[in-house]
């Protein structure tokens, strides 16, 4: 098994001895040899499975509809996307990853995406992976962009180039979780800008940690399509329940 598949090559052993890897679910130190997640937590993440919304990827409660209630009520700029986990099952993990500097979780998240959504990613036929950017001030205070960490790992696994500098967040917006759907849309107006040195891309995959209403993905997709990108997809780590 290759190092990137097991997460535990010779180099990984040495790093793990100095900086023990923590389990992305329980946050305890992963026993040596168990890989990226401890054995007792392997069944704890709740994955989004079929039936799911054909637009945003939310878990549907029945198979009589193609779209969730939210996607039937509003049109999105992005084409479609997928989420990996049900938010409730991984919200503590995502919080530590985002605010407690558990950057090592990114390798587990990306590997999980690759193993469970590789067919979907292949069908997208994307020529670029783009992480949803954070404002420079927020990245400076946090020390990293969590979406960029996952995107970098996913790029390495899939071979799809990452363009992390193509989209910039030029407005420091209020956190989306504090706003209503309409406020989210207004909050993101003119929040993103495309680099003048734009790469001619046809299809792109946006990567983010949490999908709520899709306002952020839509705002970035709008700018990308204004600059000639034909199709914009997304992959999020977590998403809420559908209807």
- What was the pLDDT predicted at 26? 97
What whole-number distance in Å separates Cα of residue 104 and Cα of residue 153?
A: 11
Give the residues across from 169 on adjacent strands: 192
Residue 53 and residue 72: Cα distance in Å, rounded?
Answer: 10
Rounded Cα distance between 77 and 85, Å, is: 23
Question: What are the structural domains of the chain?
Answer: 1-44 (no CATH), 46-239 (3.40.50)
Residue 238: which of 115, 88, 128, 64 has the closest Cα? 88
Arithmetic mean of pLDDT over the chain: 87
Model pLDDT for residues 125-176, shown as the tens digit of each residue: 999 999 999 999 989 999 999 999 999 999 999 999 999 999 999 877 656 5
Q: How confident is the model at residue 61 (pLDDT cuts 50, 70, 90)?
A: confident
| Of 145, 80, 155, the residue nearest 110 (C-alpha) | 155
pLDDT tens per residue, range 111-125: 999 999 999 999 999
What DSSP state is assigned to residue 76? -
pLDDT digits (tens, 9 = 90+) for 72-121: 999 999 999 999 999 999 999 999 999 999 999 999 999 999 999 999 99
The confidence band for 186, taking pLDDT boundaries of 50, 70 and 90, is low
Among residues 206, 196, 198, 195, which one has the least CA distance to residue 232?
206
**Closest alpha carbon to 151 in 139, 140, 165, 141:** 165
Q: Which residue has the tokens 């530590």?
A: 96
Bridge partners for 22 per DSSP? 29
Inter-CA distances, 50 with 112, 165, 215, Å: 17, 34, 24
Residue 240 is predicted with a pLDDT of: 83
- pLDDT tens for 9-59 read 555 554 555 578 899 999 999 998 899 999 999 999 999 999 999 999 999
**Nearest partner of 91 among 229, 191, 221, 240, judged by Cα:** 240
pLDDT band at 185 (very low <50, low <70, confident <90, very high): low
Model's pTM, two decimal places? 0.87
Tell me what pLDDT residue 131 has: 98
Q: pLDDT at position 1, please?
A: 35
The pLDDT of 183-197, averaged and rounded, is: 70
Q: In this structure, what token pair is assigned to residue 218?
A: 């839509």
The average pLDDT across 222-232 equals: 94
């Amino acid at each position: 098994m290759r190092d990137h598949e097991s997460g535990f090559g010779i180099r990984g052993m040495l790093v793990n001895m100095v900086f023990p890897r923590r389990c992305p679910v329980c946050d305890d130190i992963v026993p040596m040899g168990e890989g990226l997640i401890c054995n007792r937590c392997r069944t704890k993440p709740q994955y989004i499975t079929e039936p799911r919304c054909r637009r945003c990827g939310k878990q549907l409660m029945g198979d009589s509809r193609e779209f969730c209630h939210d996607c039937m009520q509003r049109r999105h700029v992005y084409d479609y996307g997928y989420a990996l986990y049900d938010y409730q099952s991984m919200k503590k993990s995502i919080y530590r990853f985002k605010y407690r500097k558990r950057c090592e979780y990114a390798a587990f998240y990306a590997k999980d995406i690759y193993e469970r959504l590789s067919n979907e990613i292949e069908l997208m036929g994307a020529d670029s992976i783009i992480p949803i950017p954070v404002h420079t001030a927020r990245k400076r205070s946090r020390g990293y962009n969590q979406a960029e960490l996952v995107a970098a790992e996913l790029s390495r696994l899939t071979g799809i180039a990452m363009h992390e500098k193509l989209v910039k967040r030029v407005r420091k917006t209020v956190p989306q979780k504090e706003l209503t759907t309409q406020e989210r849309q207004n909050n993101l107006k003119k929040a993103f800008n495309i680099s003048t040195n734009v790469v001619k891309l046809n299809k792109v995959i946006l990567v983010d940690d949490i999908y709520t209403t899709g306002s952020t993905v839509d705002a970035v997709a709008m700018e990308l399509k204004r600059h000639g990108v034909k199709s914009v997809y997304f992959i999020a780590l977590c998403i809420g329940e559908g209807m």
